[in-house]
Structure formats: C-alpha cells, structure tokens
Structure 1
C-alpha cells in the first residue's frame, strides 16, 4: 500500500519570504513524497511586494491567504497566531516550514509548537545580538521552538550550538536566496530595467532603505538623504522607494533627492529588482537579504546598519557596515577592491532547496 505524500505547510509573509519559499515549493512539488501547501499570511499586501513576486518566481496562487495586513508587531503576531492555529487545526500538516525572521515566522512557530506540529526554520541561527531589532526577537523565539534548524552558514551553526540547541536538530543547507536567483536567472538577464530607466550596466548604484532605525527618526533620515546626495555626485543612483520610506520622506525629502538627480522609482518585482542589482556598480541598503545577493553576485554592498545578522557577508562577501557620514568614502574604497577578492561562502550555490528536501526526507523516514 502506497503511503500518501507528507503535507508540508510553507509560510510566506513578506518579500524575502516569497523568495525563500519559491525554490523550496518547486523542489517539494517535484518530489513525489511531499505535498507543499503555500500559506500567505498577508503581512505584505502591496502588489509589487507580493502578487508580482509570486508571478516572477512561478509560485502558484497561495492555497490559503490569511489576510492579516498591517498593525503593530504585537497585533500582527497575535492575528497570525490566531489565524494559523485555526487553519492548522482544520488542515493539519505533517510539517510546517517557516522562513526568515518576520512576525509571521515566529507567530506560526508558536502556534504550531502548541499543536505539536513538527516545525522547521529555514535560515536559522542568524544573530545580530541587537534586541532593538524586532527581527532578532523573532529569530530567537523561532529557533527555540523549531524542531529542525536549517542554517545558511557556519556562524549560524555556532550560534545555535552556543545556545544549547542539540546538534542533531541542525543541518546546514546553505543560502536559498541563491536558488531564487538561479530559478529565474534567464529572465533577470533578459530584463533590462536599468536600460528602461536610461542607465547603462555598471554605471549606477542602487539604494534601498526601509528599517525603522533609519527611516523613522527624522534626523537620521535627513542625514542619509545628504549622504545619498553626496554619492550621487560620484555615482548615479536609482532608488526603488519602499512605501514606508516614501511616507517618511514626504514630498520635501523626495523633491530634494530628485533635485540632486537621484532616480526615485516604485517598489519593483523580483525580476526587475534583480535586473537593477545585477547591473549595479554598488548597492547601498539596510536590507538583510540584499547583503546576501550582492555577495553572491560579487557586487559591493554598503550596509547602513550598526550590525548585521549575516556577518559572513562581511568576512567572506562584499558587504561592509557603514554610517551615513562615511558612506561616500566607504563606497570609493569598496569600488577600488579587486573583484577577485570577493568570495562566495560554501553552499551559496543555487542547490539549497535540494539539500532541504534530502534532509526533510531523511527526517520524515525516522
């Protein structure tokens, strides 16, 4: 008698989640012993940050959409816990896989833990050691609750072992963001979003800003605006503006950036955005995932943060932590670095989803 495939819930909540879930969904769909179920919590509800990225990564419409929307951290977390608990009781999976470090990740892990649903955390073990970052609390909570921890790098393994997580619960699978890139690489290479905006490959930089520590403090945001204007005089900048950041900048801030020649555009779907990134001379960001993508592509990444949960992108990759006053100096230094000095970490190779499926199959058979 043939057993039915193991039912696997995949939680998608925000742009980085979609990119991590997509390769895993494709790999699980191709495996006869697993049945992936995509659950969109609705934490990101902007079409360019949700629906369009699903299409770019060839993800199907979600099997379930929880429709959570915006709110405080506690509101979002509570709403997701309530909604996912109800769903999991009606459609109980054999496994739950949560990814990254958003509120939905921790919320679903908590709900599943109380229902005793085996839970896997993909991208486990990352630590900034900065509890002012909501994501750090989500990472800590999720890693304690998860039954299996899939890590991207040796430092993540070391963090979990130092927190007394048993070694048998940890499997280093690599960085699944690289799988997402390889999944649609032909489309990214065929796209010419920079050309549509009037820029030549290698002749511009890309800016992304969204973290509260940068955009919610008016003085800090004003300082960043001045730093970007200084960079614009040396390297033309394209700035896909996150909805949150656009609101914080206001019309005056946007006008000031545009007057300096910085090209402000709306949020881009995955293929268009990676077309921008892959053709850039450098990227200026406060994102976590972009530190990884630029490391994979060998592109200098100026990270406007005091710390990073991805230190391997500094020790082996192309990222460097930068404060606004030093941005221009650090950019010039990064651009002068020989390209052969830019390394990729082990298992950042486009084959992480396959390693995930192998580990899941091994653990399902136990």
Structure 2
C-alpha cells in the first residue's frame, strides 16, 4: 500500500521527518504501508531546503517535481500539472499532505481529481484572516480532504463547525513537536555565536516575513526601530527570510543591536530559540516550539491559527502596531511573563498515532 508524502517548503520538512521514521519503524515490523517522498521544489535553495533534509535525516526524495520560483498561482499550477502526471503514470493509494503551503493545496487538488484520497496533517487550524495565503490553502485543502489529523481540540472544533463528521477527524498531536523533542539533544550553536558574543538569556531572536509586517519599507522600518528600542540594547538575532531581505535593502538607519544573519539550519536555529530571552515573530510554527521549550514569545500579528499557544503556552499576540511592543517587553523585563504549559498530546508520539490510524484506514 503506497502513500505519497508531500513536502515542498521549509515548514513541511519538520512535519514529515517523524512520519517517515514512524513508517520505517513499522515497515521493519512487517507493516504493509510503504511511502514515496515527493518534493515539489517549492523551496529550492540549500538554505531553505537542503540543510533540513540532511539535519533531520530525511531520505532523498524519490520524486522531485523541481517547480522552483514564480507567483503563487504559477507554483500551484506547476505542482498540479507535474503531480498529476506522476499519479497517472504511477498512482498511490493515498496523498498525505502537511501544513498549509502552496504544495499542500496543489497536491491535494491533483490527487482528488484522480479519485485518490487525501489525508491532511495539521488540519483544521484557522486564523480567520483571508489575506493570508496560508489561510486560503488551509480552507481549500480541508474542503477536499478525506481524513483529518489535528494538533489541538480547537482545530477539531473548526472542522466540526464546517460539517466534517467526527469519525473522519483524528486528534493526534503535533508532528513539529515530535521533531523538536527528538532533536533537542543535538541543538548546536551557529557559526556566529562566539563572534557576536551571545550569552544564554541575554539576547532576542526575531523572525518576520508576513506581508503586513515586511512588504512596506516604511512600516517595516518603524517595527525594526521599535524592536531595537524595546529590547534595551540586548543583541537581537534576525535570520532574514528571502521575502524580508527584499524590503530590508530599502531600510536605512537600522538599530545597532540588530544582528542580521542568513536563514539558519534547523539545529542551529532552535539552539538560538531555546537559549533566547524571548522570541519576537510573526510565524505560527515558532510559537509552537517556544511553547514547548518554555521560551517567551511575542507575536506581531492580530490573529493566530494556533490559539493553544496563547491560551495554554508562552505566546502572546500584540498586533502589528509597533507601539504595542514596548509594553509587552517591559512586562518581560519585569519578570511578569506567563509560564505557560504544553498542550495535550504534544508528547513526541504524534507520528506513531498517525501511522496507526493510516493502518486502520488503509489496511484493515
């Protein structure tokens, strides 16, 4: 029984690695499930893709669609055409997609058009913000998914509100956390650690890439100034996303405590996060990792598709107004940040539960 596992962009790689390991472990025990790893090539440079495969022990993809760059529509169209061709030549029994990137939506559509069922890992999360491309990807994917694997009770509730039958929803936990817990002992400092004289608990990490925060150079400059001032002179390590780099070129008079670096490999990036005083971000996945590591997280967004990181974890939404950052960080420096806890089933065993469910659905 052949399962296609789809990966296309950096967030996907952390989610598929433990699923592949769980499948391989079961195969060694004589399980009937086999997998074919399909890399769409949505992220196609070494920093955004290749290093993750190496560090997380992901095998070389059996198929690489090599889509490369382009607009979202161009990427989606290219992925659908190429994946459809693969399925027509060599069909699988299931298309397993993860997360909410363009590859997730495009491969789900191509599979369903050929009557191949779709399973969605990280199904049901919703921000309610249709200006986010990821939100559109989530909604389209879930509208044509057969089986839903969810990270939280909030996600399951969203699916039920949308009319999904309960027996198609599997609350399994978070594969991102499987990867985090498995690799935490291997975290290592980045090359610039000594050069920049970073010390645990005495620096911040920033990641920004959402259009609302980085596409307009004037607003982006205001946010950077607020970050520089609110962090009280501590170093602020800023791995720069390719999207962000385009706008950063137009920003002058940058705060002196910002340390701009290239996107970091998984083990080095999470070493930075684990040892930071706090993280300032507009990413969703990082809020999950900081929650499990107990690191304060300030999210520069007005909404989140991961409310469990706010309701239960260490994350707080402060919005996109730069003026809101200082009061939040003042509370942090005063020692008044919430402790937070770990959401249910974020225990490192999510992938095992997914594979067990797939065995029941496909083999029995």
TM-score by length of 2: 0.94
233-242 vs 10-19, which moves further:
233-242
12-21 vs 322-331, which moves further:
322-331
What is the CA RMSD across the aligned residues, in angstroms? Answer: 1.6
* Number of the residue aligned with 2:175: 176
CA distance in 2, matches of 1:337, 1:21: 37
* Number of the residue aligned with 2:344: 346
* Number of the residue aligned with 2:221: 222
270-279 vs 68-77, which moves further:
68-77
CA distance in 1, matches of 2:77, 2:190: 41
* Number of the residue aligned with 1:281: 277
Q: Is 1:300–1:335's contact at 8 Å kept on the other side of the alignment?
A: no
Residue 340 of structure 1: how far off its partner (Å): 7.5
CA distance in 1, matches of 2:242, 2:133: 19
Q: Is 1:178–1:293's contact at 8 Å kept on the other side of the alignment?
A: yes
Q: Is 1:194–1:275's contact at 8 Å kept on the other side of the alignment?
A: no
CA distance in 1, matches of 2:26, 2:259: 44
Q: Does structure 1 residue 84 correspond to structure 2 residue 83?
A: yes
Matches within 5 A, 1:199-238: 199-238=198-237
Report the CA distance shift for 1:359/1:155 in structure 2 as closer, same or farther (over 3 A): same
Q: 1:291 aligns with which of 287, 290, 297?
A: 287
Report the CA distance shift for 1:243/1:8 in structure 2 as closer, same or farther (over 3 A): same
| Structure number having the greater helix percentage | 1
Report the CA distance shift for 1:221/1:211 in structure 2 as closer, same or farther (over 3 A): same
Matches within 5 A, 1:48-127: 48-127=47-126
Secondary structure of 1:44's partner? coil
Q: Is 1:204–1:237's contact at 8 Å kept on the other side of the alignment?
A: yes
Residue 205 of structure 1: how far off its partner (Å): 0.6
Residue 235 of structure 1: how far off its partner (Å): 3.1
334-343 vs 136-145, which moves further:
334-343
Q: Is 1:194–1:279's contact at 8 Å kept on the other side of the alignment?
A: no
Residue 339 of structure 1: how far off its partner (Å): 7.4
163-172 vs 38-47, which moves further:
38-47
CA distance in 2, matches of 1:95, 1:356: 13
Q: Does structure 1 residue 364 correspond to structure 2 residue 362?
A: yes
* Number of the residue aligned with 2:253: 256
* Number of the residue aligned with 1:3: none
Cα-to-partner distance string for 1:208-234 (whole Å, 9 max, x where unaligned): 011112111223212211112213434
Unaligned runs of 5+ in 1: 1-5
Q: Is 1:281–1:335's contact at 8 Å kept on the other side of the alignment?
A: no
Q: 1:328 aligns with which of 313, 318, 326?
A: 326
225-234 vs 204-213, which moves further:
225-234
Report the CA distance shift for 1:67/1:116 in structure 2 as closer, same or farther (over 3 A): same
Q: Count how many residue pairs are aligned between Structure 1 and Structure 2.
A: 357
* Number of the residue aligned with 2:12: 17
Q: Is 1:193–1:276's contact at 8 Å kept on the other side of the alignment?
A: no
CA distance in 1, matches of 2:334, 2:3: 46
Unaligned runs of 5+ in 2: none
Report the CA distance shift for 1:70/1:220 in structure 2 as closer, same or farther (over 3 A): same
CA distance in 1, matches of 2:45, 2:230: 29
Cα-to-partner distance string for 1:111-168 (whole Å, 9 max, x where unaligned): 0011111210000000001111111111001111111000000000000000001111
Q: Is 1:125–1:159's contact at 8 Å kept on the other side of the alignment?
A: yes
CA distance in 2, matches of 1:345, 1:159: 17
Cα-to-partner distance string for 1:177-224 (whole Å, 9 max, x where unaligned): 111112222211x54657334201111110001111211122321221
Matches within 5 A, 1:116-195: 116-188=115-187, 190-191=188-189, 195=193
